[in-house]
Amino acid sequence: MARLPALESLPTISQEVVTRFLLPPCGPSTLLPRTTMHTTPRRLPTLALPCPPALRTACLAATLWALAGYSAAGSLPAAAKAEVNALLTRLQASGCDFNRNGSWYSGAEAKAHLLKKLDYLDGKNAVQTTEQFIELGASSSSASGKAYQVRCAGAAAVDAGPWLKGELKALRSGAAAPMVHSAPAVPAAPAAK
């Protein structure tokens, strides 16, 4: 049989669920919580039904297994989280401005906002890769649906999704500094004769 994690290793809420709702029926009498009507706690009667230790162990094991599997499922891998952080650090260091819902923010403010979105999406188990984060969290506003934009050094604003994908490609290729993306060059008008 597979070894289960110790009760102490589970999150606090899981410990409370196990100790308050799974263990008391087979254990000694439990106390009712205080209410406004009763100032002293009352004892509940102990269950008269036998509770074999094997059944108690099996129920506890199944619950711990389910809780451990649920809390660990789908979290963003550490390598991807580090890559997202490095990508957002490049945005911060680029000197570019970030447009969110019609307002321009510095790279540092953009990084802080996008890290909050990363934490939210990671908590929902919605992202597994940096590319998924760019698509789901860093390309557009989840509130308004408007595309985020990046504006670098006097160049025209570009959508943040493609800009971040370009930075991710540069990051993975080992480019040291953020690339400053500019608008496509407009050909010069022919000289008048």
Report d(CA 146, CA 156) in Å as an integer: 17
Return the pLDDT at 154.
82
Alpha-carbon distance of 84 to 114, in angstroms, equals 10
Could you tell me which residues come within 8 angstroms of residue 106 by beta carbon, excluding any fewer than 6 positions away?
92, 97, 98
**Helix (H/G/I), strand (E/B), else coil: 105:** strand
Mean pLDDT of successive 10-residue stretches along the chain, which has 193 residues = 52 52 48 52 57 70 60 74 96 95 96 96 93 96 95 93 96 74 44 51
Q: 155 is written with which tokens?
A: 């160049």
Q: Which amino acid is at 116?
A: K
CA trace torsion 137, 142, 147, 150 (10° rounding): -50
Q: Report the C-alpha gap between 166 and 133 in whole angstroms.
A: 14
